[in-house]
């Protein structure tokens, strides 16, 4: 019997729970969930077979998944590694910043039992209510610094993500953090800023939102994302995120000055360069 402990039964942890069981990877899901309401909801929805304390779960599970915000995950990681030291049991996390997590694990006697992973899937919703089957299907999962993990642990976690239908990519944790700043973190910051811009205006212009079109909704969608998750991501990935924000603000300034001077050729050049994103995003 294979038991998987999932710490944090929110969008990611809850969705993993659903698919790991229905696809036969896990025989038992042990949920660890500090929030009482979330814990009860998760049980009621059948996301976990039982709720346990972190200590209990760390002592019992074959695989421990840390699916909490990255600051909480960084605190729990040494404790989880202490619990699995000397065994073949495995700890993974699913956070979207990896360098700090790998630094926390570095030098721990159970470092080889830890696999740093980032399943790149999600929605702008959170909590056990946001969990859904199939969330990970066809998406990319990044494994970081796998040379620090035991081969056996890595291959078992590859099986786990195979059960989630993810394609695995391998990367150094510092390269990972730089890449996700570009393809994920900046999108969240731009959406937050867009929401703040429009909400500011709305104070005196109540009906502005009657007009909100599909384009606006899709651009601002990520602004619904949860602060508990995003504050520590932006803190831990500060240097990369700041670099991307600076480039981004430069591009906005390029647009601003082209529009200000009514320079049609310049505006067209910027838009046509931006259009090249078509070859990448379907």
* Residues in region 99-158 near a second copy by CB under 8 A: 120-124, 139-140, 142
Query: In this chain, which stretch among 33-41, 73-81, 158-166, 242-250 interacts with a second copy, using CB under 8 A?
Result: 242-250
Nearer to a second copy, 91 or 223 (CB): 223
Nearer to a second copy, 56 or 182 (CB): 182
Question: Least distance to a second copy from the beta carbon of 74, Å?
Answer: 14
Choice between 21 and 118, CB closer to a second copy: 118
User: Taking CB under 8 A as the rule, does residue 170 contact a second copy?
Assistant: no
Site for a second copy (CB under 8 A): which residue of 82, 109, 133, 199?
199
Residue 99 CB, shortest distance to a second copy, in Å, is 15
Q: Total residues at the site for a second copy (CB under 8 A)? A: 91
Min. distance of Cβ 278 from a second copy in angstroms? 5
The window from 8-16, 97-105, 147-155, 174-182 that contacts a second copy (CB under 8 A) reads 174-182
Using the contact rule CB under 8 A, the part of the chain among 8-16, 31-39, 102-110, 274-282 near a second copy is 274-282
Q: Which of residues 252-271 bind a second copy (CB under 8 A)?
A: 252-256, 259-260, 262, 264, 267-268, 270-271
Site for a second copy in 202-231 (CB under 8 A): 202, 205, 207-227, 230-231
Contacts of a second copy in 7-36 (CB under 8 A) = none
Q: CB 145 → a second copy: shortest distance, Å?
A: 17
Q: What is the DSSP string of the chain?
A: --EEEEE--SHHHHHHHHHHHHTTS-SEEEEE-SSHHHHHHHHHTTS-SEE--HHHHHHH-SEEEE-S-HHHHHHHHHHHHHHHTTSS-EEEE--S--HHHHHHHTT-TTGGGEEEEEE----S--SGGG--TTTTTT-EEEEE-GGGS-HHHHHHHHHHHHHTTPEEEEE-HHHHHHHHIIIIIHHHHHHHHHHHHHHHHHTT-GGGGGG--HHHHHHHGGGG--HHHHHHHHHHTHHHHHHHHHHHHHHHHHHHHHHHTT-HHHHHHHHHHHHGGGGT--
Query: Which residues, 6+ apart, have CB-to-CB distance to 66 below 8 Å?
Result: 7, 8, 73, 76, 77, 80, 91, 92, 93, 94, 95
Report the residue number, 58 or 136, with the smaller CB distance to a second copy.
136
d(CA 132, CA 15): 5
Residue 129 C-beta: closest distance to a second copy, Å? 14
């Amino acid at each position: 019997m294979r038991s998987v402990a999932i710490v944090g039964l929110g969008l990611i942890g809850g969705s993993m729970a659903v698919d790991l069981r229905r696809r036969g990877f896990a025989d038992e899901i042990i949920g660890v969930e500090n929030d009482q309401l979330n814990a009860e909801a998760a049980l009621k929805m059948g996301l976990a077979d039982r709720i346990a304390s972190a200590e209990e779960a760390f002592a019992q599970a074959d695989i421990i998944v840390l699916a909490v915000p990255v600051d909480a995950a960084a605190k729990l990681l040494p404790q989880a590694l202490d619990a699995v030291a000397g065994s073949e049991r495995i700890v993974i996390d699913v956070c979207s910043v990896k360098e700090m997590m790998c630094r926390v694990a570095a030098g721990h006697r159970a470092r080889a039992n830890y696999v740093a992973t980032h399943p790149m899937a999600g929605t702008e919703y959170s909590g056990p209510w946001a969990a859904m089957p199939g969330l990970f299907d066809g998406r990319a999962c990044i494994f970081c610094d796998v040379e620090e993990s035991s081969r056996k642990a890595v291959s078992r976690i590859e099986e786990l993500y195979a059960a989630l239908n993810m394609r695995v990519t391998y990367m150094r944790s510092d390269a990972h953090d730089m890449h996700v700043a570009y393809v994920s973190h900046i999108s969240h910051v731009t959406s937050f800023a867009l929401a703040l811009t429009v909400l500011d205006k709305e104070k005196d212009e109540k009906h502005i939102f009657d007009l909100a079109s599909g384009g606006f909704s899709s651009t601002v969608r990520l602004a619904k994302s949860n602060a508990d998750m995003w504050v520590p991501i932006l803190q831990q990935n500060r240097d990369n995120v700041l670099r991307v924000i600076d480039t981004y603000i430069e591009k906005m300034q390029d647009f601003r000055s082209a529009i200000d001077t009514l320079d049609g050729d310049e505006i067209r050049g910027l838009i046509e360069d931006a259009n090249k994103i078509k070859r990448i995003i379907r």
